Structure 1
Amino acid sequence: MQAQNQPAFTVSDIRVEGLQRISAGTVFTYLPVEKGDTLDRSSSAEAIRALFQTGFFSDVRLERQGDILVVVVTERPAINTITLTGNKDIKSEDLLAGLRNIGLAEGETYNPLALDRVTQELIRQYNNRGKYNASITPSVANLDRNRVDITITVVEGKASRISDINIVGNEAYPEYEIRKGWESGTTNWLSWYRRDDQYSREKLSGDLEKLTNFYLDRGYVDFNVESTQVAISPEKRNIFVTANIAEGEVYTISSTKVSGDTILPIEDIEKLVILKEGDTFSRRLVELTTDAVIATLGNIGYAFAQVNPVPDIDREKRTIGINFFVDPGPRVQVRRITFKGNVGTSDEVMRREMRQFEGAWFSQAAIDRSKIRLQRLGFFEEIDIETPEVAGQPDQVDLVVNVKERNSGQFTFGLGYQQNFGLVTTIQLVQNNFLGTGNRVSLSAQNNSFSNQFSLGFTDPYFTDDGVSLGYNLSYSDYSYSNRDANLAQFDNAVAAGEVILGIPLTETDSISMSLGIDRNQISTDDFATPPLLIDYLVDALGDRARFPQFHVPDDTDPNTPIENDDADPTTTDPLTLGPNRRWNVNAWRLKTGWQRDSRNDFLMPTRGTLHRIGAEFVLPGSDLEYYRLTYVFENYRLLKPWLGLKSALDVGYGDSYGVTKDRNCRVYDDFGNIVTGATQQCGMPFFSNYYAGGPSSVRGFEINTIGPFYRFTDTFRQPIGGPFKTVGTFEFFFPTLFDNRSTRLSAFLDYGNIYNGVDEWEAKTLRISTGLAVQWQSPMGPISISYALPLQRERTDQVERLQFTFGGQF
């Protein structure tokens, strides 16, 4: 019998029936009736309500057996699995996380109401993304043991496109001007990338805020967006947006003043106020003023400073006075700096890059600089700095540096292929953060059809606590002219070298470097393959060398040959014949020095900042050849839009001889490779130190090393020989937000450059120019770059190569 329909009685015992997964103890916890209580209609209804509210049961009944209360329940089924299909715009893991927050997760109790709420929420989210045709279809499959499988099928459909945006009421400015910078727009040629023609309520709200800012920045204090209408076509594919505005009148500044506790002398704060009496009001300039004051106070410890601009509006005179009220708050010290996420990097390596110190006054500028220095290490993919307040200490904060490490080292053994060098065999160990110390260790052995290379290097970036770096390099390379794909003059070049490098920081962005090294360069030439002007340079500057190999004239088996000239006769006395090869050993003491200013914000993929590098290399007196090389490298990165950046770069190099080498006379060749009879000139910089241009890392779209002077053996075969003066540069537009991965970047470039025999030969019309697209990827195995370029300015004889790629770096 139903207990709730019976007269009141005293409960002597309670029994629960129908439980499968839920324990009886859980029911007793929520049941507001205990043994000894009197159960009547009111308390019965309350008990049933309490058990229903748990969400565990689909049915609850109270029955009476004598004075025993029997609670009969029917449990809701448990969710066995949740499956999502068809969703692309919203990731499954994000959706499942949202479902879990409302109790719809595997192992939880199934509630149909919760599933209905999920359906409505998904429809709302897709509508916000402009997909009004989206449909959400949930299905529930019953299983044994009171379980269910839930499947949510999503049909996203296509996003509705904005067909028209109409602004009504604008008189002072045309619509195209006030809509600059909007995220919403009608379909255009960039919509495939920017997706600006896809309607979104959030984007439209942001654009209307930009509209308000546009007018407030131009003095329209009374500007107002009176209404907005969004209409959708019957087929739900086209969106029509209309905004009605009231511009109002332009206001000017009647006065500005600074009040409150300014900490610094008030005249110093007043210098930060951008707006002056008589200026047109601008909310942007008001915000820049408040930000400047807050930043100034923040850099001397007032981390929570606030500046409240208080307006005094005179609507009759159309003027506005502004009082900047300064509330500095407490002066804050940094109590402790902690690092999180640096599994392989020691705290010391990170701490020495910090410019905010423990126990020092808080400085936002020092914190920002610390982040940039950590980014430029190249050890971390992500860096985030938090400043939580210390509980109970309003004048103290902690600094928490959260990092996500990237692989800063690699060991590679394998075979590969490079476009210009063919099959490559590599054994390479590079560790930019050796054992977490920040030291760089590199060991490499590489073989390809063009060269054999070996190098060993070590750099300690903090040899002293002041940041003086010390490095050592040993290397050996053997370049062969047998591979014409390298596009270099054909001579063998074996170089063994060692050097010591010292780096000295001057400021946060400036440093100087010096190195002293010794090298031995063994050059082998072939009279039949090496351009004569290169051989003649060595002969004129260093003296001739014996030819090799040496051999007798072979037996020609001609019976008419006199016996005295026949090698078959052991008593022959005919002279030796000399081979076509000659070899020079060029020993050098090499001094390098340079100055660098680097304000770039990242080591691998910078988006802001500038690099200036000036270098000088001197082959010192006492070397077999005496010469120098001067270089200047410039790079500038800036964001034009959040989705678009610009890299501007220039690389200029110049070299010449001096001293004994300058005093020697070398033979002269014309532009066609013919010797000028009787003419001589001072010997210049040796050809093996010449500059080259063209290729994936220079002027893309041209074959590697082919731009510049060359020696023509025949009409179809020529050898690039480089030159002592280089001018190479680029303008490259990059898209930093196109890929979710910060290690991948798409760019559109315009490259230019050429190599000359002297500064006086430079002419703008002789520059080679190309344009194209490139993709760079900082892969775990090394940097990969692929480009496709079209030459815009070239000579008929230039060697074009549109598709180019590089994989990894070279030692």
Structure 2
Amino acid sequence: MKRIAALILLASLSANAFAFDPFVVSDIRIDGLSRITAGTVYNYLPVAKGDRLTNDEAQRAIRALYQTKFFSDVEMDREGDILVIKVVERPSIAKLTLRGNKDIKTEDLTKGLKEIGLSEGETFDRLALDNVQQELIRQYYNRGKYNVSVTPHVTQLDRNRVAVEIEIREGKAAKIKELNILGNHAFADKDIRDGFESNTSNWMSWYSKDDQYSREKLSGDLEKLQSYYMDRGYADFGVDSTQVAIAPDKRAMYIDASIKEGEIYKVSDVKLLGELILPEATMRQLVFVKVGETFNRGAIEASSKAIKAVLANIGYAYAKVTPVPKLDKDKRTVDLTMYVEPGQRVYVRRVVFAGNTRTEDTVLRRELRQLEGSWYSQAAIDRSKIRLQRLGYFKKVDIDKKLVPGTQDQVDVSVKVEEQSAGSMQFGVGYSQYSGIILNASVSQNNLFGTGDSFSISGQRSSYQTSIGLNYYNPYLTENGVGIGYSANYSKTDYGNTDFANYSTSAKSFSSYLGIPITETDSLRLGLGISSNKINLFQGYSPQVLLDYQDQIGNKTIHSWTGTVGWNHDTRNGYWAPTRGGLISASTDVALPGSTVQYWKLSTEINHYWPIGKGFVLYLDGQVGYGKTYGSNGISDTAFDALKASSAAADPTHILTDMRQDFPFWENFYAGGVKDVRGFQDNTLGPRICIDGSTPDKSGNCSGGYYAQPIGGAFKVLGTAELYIPIPGLKDVNTARVSWFVDVGNAYKDYRDFSANTLRASTGVSLHWQAPIGPLIISFAMPFRTQADDGHYEERIQFTFGSTF
């Protein structure tokens, strides 16, 4: 302001020095312009041709041109009746550079500087630069960095331009050496400071940075302190004073907050006034404060939010609820009145979309539960946002409302999305300790041509498997969301190169399925498929029990007609990395009559995510799988007796067991590995047998020095508890997640063999990272519940990349 005043004074002096007799301006000429156009000057000049110019008018004109901040000097002259204005333009900013800033992002600083008027292409103003310097210092002071220095450097360039460089030396944040709450008697320091973001240095400060002083953090902590007391009845609680002292070296902070606790108050009455819209009895069910209870500000705020939410769901998008507590200090009671102002009921005129450059509007619109022409509903808006987030096409989804100009009862809803890649083309090499080196090629698109359809074709080659698959799914075969999908697969597998029992398969299959929505969170899946699986067992290498099974069914090629029925209840709030909600699923696959072996498999899973504050998320998961045969599977008692006789004739020492009702071994469940019970090699938990059919010893060894081979079972139980831990400085949990986990589980021949004493368990930490080479999982696990024969199958570090997780 002083500089502006000086400029105005200078303009006044210049005008006084230029004294002339008043005259009528016949023309105006401007000298000295290079970057600014004459038309721009004429727009600001309060003098025009034909005006009578006096000394006062000349002074006013010079002030007006100075105040544009375009010029560093303005002079006026006269040639006859022509007004001559001589100007010196201020330079333009050709380049603006920030250097040394780490605590505040460059893009945030650049945005702030532009708002102040300092950005590339703008006119350079030394006063604005001085203001920027002081503002940056203030921002760093708020972050506790009192040693910061901000030094601007201005370099003159050709064509009346300058380069501005702002050098920032942030220094180190001041540490909190003392934080004292004075005047608390009802609660201990550790109780009222629980949840504070500010603290003195402790063993976790290297991670939480809670010992670094910040004015914003301290203000938030004092608000938490007030909430702590007022939620417990102290309605007249107050913070009397706050004193913050800094050490001479600006490296240590000393904070004292003096409080007045007051007294505990009870609620004497609760009134609902205003335009309630709904019956008072209905509205009172949304009030969580009752007469006779201890005053609780948190409950009052929750009541206000509940009332506004209900009104917003029936069109009152701008409803207000104002709680007014009246304290009786003698009786220590509170008379609470809640004023309800619903405002104008509004309906949605139009829903507009922005940011979807690849995805068609119809793909977004069909996920919306807020319809055009209907009353506004906040619940429908919230549900629409969740549905869009769960598509997996968008990194960010924002939905906002805005009153239509000139109306009070119409809003336009704006849906703004930030798209992310929904498809990939990969040619690469992966590795896992289970599969060894993995060569893969795949093309997938979850948003095919922006239609929302998904398509993928993939091929993979590993140490034990070669496979190719083709999948297509249209989620909206009908307008009400019935989807249809097709899947074709071929695989050739040699389990002798894994920890499975020694045999190989060659399988091909085709299936089609329908996805049928039932409610917003529930859906059915109905499928029908056909498959052919050729199984090769090797005498002397494959376990005898598998050879016996194949002899009894009498076929090396297994043909199956499979029907599938599944149900999902999905309340998760995201696609890649949910933070709340869960999934309940159950599915049954049935090998229908006419198949070589008739059986059914039931798989169920229940999981849930709970945000528990400060970026931590708790995840619990439980899975159960069970399979069983039905029917005679084409083998009569007579046929079995003949097979038993021929087997005894070939090997009198071998006793053939009737296995007609045993679950087919190629459909067995397995446990252990990266995807379920970490800390054990993949698929090694559960029943294990020796090649000759004998039982392994307690250490898992067979005669001849061989290890027992896992063969899986018809029953599986798995459980996981996982705590996702926020990574400092990482806001996007879709990029990477770190967790501490506990896994429990095992597989059994049948549910009757289940015993809690035989469940295996492990604990450890895991990193999930969307790396440039593909999704990466690294887990370090320590088994802590094992059996004597598990020693050969434990694995501390497990990782895999090149496949989805």
- TM range, smaller chain: 0.7 to 0.9
Q: Judge conservation of contact 1:344–1:435 (CA < 8 Å) in 2.
A: yes
1:750 corresponds to which of 742, 762, 765: 742
Bigger mean CA offset, 495-504 vs 759-768: 759-768
1:615 corresponds to which of 587, 607, 616: 587
1:511 aligns with 2:523: yes
Partner letter of residue 796 of structure 2? R
1:732 corresponds to which of 722, 745, 753: 722
Bigger mean CA offset, 760-769 vs 745-754: 760-769
How many Å separate the matches in 1 of 2:351 and 2:160?
53
1:52 aligns with 2:66: yes
Aligned to 2:684: 706
How many Å separate the matches in 2 of 1:67 and 1:407?
68
Displacement after TM superposition at 1:788 (Å): 2.5
How many Å separate the matches in 2 of 1:801 and 1:217?
50
Alignment of 1:96-495 (within 5 A): 96-483=110-497, 486-495=498-507
Aligned to 1:785: 777
Aligned to 1:766: 758
Aligned to 2:648: none
Aligned to 2:697: none
Displacement after TM superposition at 1:784 (Å): 3.1
Residue 20 to residue 358, structure 1, CA distance change in 2 (3 Å)? closer
Q: Judge conservation of contact 2:571–2:581 (CA < 8 Å) in 1.
A: yes
Bigger mean CA offset, 215-224 vs 797-806: 797-806
Aligned to 2:559: 587
Residue 183 to residue 6, structure 1, CA distance change in 2 (3 Å)? closer
Aligned to 1:794: 786
Q: Judge conservation of contact 2:493–2:506 (CA < 8 Å) in 1.
A: yes
Residue 587 to residue 447, structure 1, CA distance change in 2 (3 Å)? same
Displacement after TM superposition at 1:623 (Å): 2.0
Aligned to 1:687: 665
Displacement after TM superposition at 1:66 (Å): 8.2
How many Å separate the matches in 2 of 1:652 and 1:294?
43
Q: Judge conservation of contact 2:548–2:656 (CA < 8 Å) in 1.
A: no
Residue 403 to residue 288, structure 1, CA distance change in 2 (3 Å)? same
2:553 corresponds to which of 542, 556, 565: 542
Q: Judge conservation of contact 2:430–2:800 (CA < 8 Å) in 1.
A: no
Aligned to 1:498: 510
How many Å separate the matches in 1 of 2:315 and 2:409?
9
Displacement after TM superposition at 1:22 (Å): 4.3
Displacement after TM superposition at 1:166 (Å): 0.9
How many Å separate the matches in 2 of 1:72 and 1:388?
48
Residue 320 to residue 378, structure 1, CA distance change in 2 (3 Å)? same
Partner letter of residue 687 of structure 1? F
| Secondary structure at 1:9 match in 2 | coil
Deviations 1:632-658 (A, max 9, x none): 101101100141111111111122223
| Secondary structure at 2:383 match in 1 | helix
| Secondary structure at 1:388 match in 2 | strand
Partner letter of residue 186 of structure 1? T
Q: Judge conservation of contact 1:747–1:773 (CA < 8 Å) in 2.
A: yes
Alignment of 1:601-640 (within 5 A): 601-640=573-612
Q: Judge conservation of contact 1:629–1:655 (CA < 8 Å) in 2.
A: yes
How many Å separate the matches in 2 of 1:375 and 1:27?
51
Displacement after TM superposition at 1:311 (Å): 2.5
How many Å separate the matches in 2 of 1:117 and 1:133?
19
Displacement after TM superposition at 1:206 (Å): 1.2
Q: Judge conservation of contact 2:431–2:800 (CA < 8 Å) in 1.
A: no
Aligned to 1:721: 711
Q: Judge conservation of contact 2:588–2:603 (CA < 8 Å) in 1.
A: yes
Residue 106 to residue 304, structure 1, CA distance change in 2 (3 Å)? closer
Residue 237 to residue 798, structure 1, CA distance change in 2 (3 Å)? farther
Deviations 1:270-321 (A, max 9, x none): 2222222210011111122222222222222222222222333222111112
Q: Which runs of 5+ in 2 are unaligned?
A: 1-12, 645-652, 691-701
Partner letter of residue 594 of structure 1? G
Residue 17 to residue 324, structure 1, CA distance change in 2 (3 Å)? closer
Residue 682 to residue 162, structure 1, CA distance change in 2 (3 Å)? farther
Bigger mean CA offset, 209-218 vs 182-191: 182-191
| Secondary structure at 2:409 match in 1 | strand
Q: Judge conservation of contact 2:524–2:568 (CA < 8 Å) in 1.
A: yes
How many Å separate the matches in 2 of 1:176 and 1:242?
15
Partner letter of residue 688 of structure 1? W
How many Å separate the matches in 2 of 1:81 and 1:679?
86
Partner letter of residue 789 of structure 1? A
Displacement after TM superposition at 1:419 (Å): 4.1
Displacement after TM superposition at 1:530 (Å): 1.4
Partner letter of residue 804 of structure 1? Q
How many Å separate the matches in 1 of 2:149 and 2:351?
50
How many Å separate the matches in 1 of 2:317 and 2:119?
43
Q: Judge conservation of contact 1:537–1:683 (CA < 8 Å) in 2.
A: no
How many Å separate the matches in 2 of 1:421 and 1:145?
66
Aligned to 1:643: 615
| Secondary structure at 2:228 match in 1 | helix
Residue 681 to residue 72, structure 1, CA distance change in 2 (3 Å)? closer
How many Å separate the matches in 2 of 1:28 and 1:264?
61
Q: Which runs of 5+ in 1 are unaligned?
A: 546-583, 668-674
Q: What value does the CA root-mean-square deviation take over the aligned residues?
A: 2.9
How many Å separate the matches in 1 of 2:277 and 2:296?
26
Aligned to 1:550: none
The total of aligned residue pairs comes to 762
How many Å separate the matches in 1 of 2:362 and 2:41?
57
Bigger mean CA offset, 311-320 vs 732-741: 732-741
Displacement after TM superposition at 1:154 (Å): 0.9
Aligned to 2:693: none
Partner letter of residue 791 of structure 1? P
Displacement after TM superposition at 1:537 (Å): 2.2
Displacement after TM superposition at 1:229 (Å): 1.0
Partner letter of residue 610 of structure 1? G
Displacement after TM superposition at 1:542 (Å): 1.3
Displacement after TM superposition at 1:30 (Å): 4.7
- Return the TM-score normalized by structure 2: 0.88
| Secondary structure at 2:501 match in 1 | coil
Displacement after TM superposition at 1:731 (Å): 1.1
Residue 676 to residue 798, structure 1, CA distance change in 2 (3 Å)? farther
| Secondary structure at 2:534 match in 1 | strand
| Secondary structure at 2:343 match in 1 | coil
Partner letter of residue 767 of structure 2? V
Displacement after TM superposition at 1:468 (Å): 2.3
Displacement after TM superposition at 1:27 (Å): 5.2
Displacement after TM superposition at 1:482 (Å): 4.8
Alignment of 1:60-99 (within 5 A): 60-61=74-75, 71-99=85-113
| Secondary structure at 2:66 match in 1 | helix
Deviations 1:401-439 (A, max 9, x none): 111222222233444444432333333222222222222
Bigger mean CA offset, 240-249 vs 297-306: 297-306
Partner letter of residue 403 of structure 2? E
How many Å separate the matches in 1 of 2:724 and 2:427?
33
- Return the TM-score normalized by structure 1: 0.87
Displacement after TM superposition at 1:243 (Å): 0.8
1:741 aligns with 2:732: yes
| Secondary structure at 2:632 match in 1 | helix
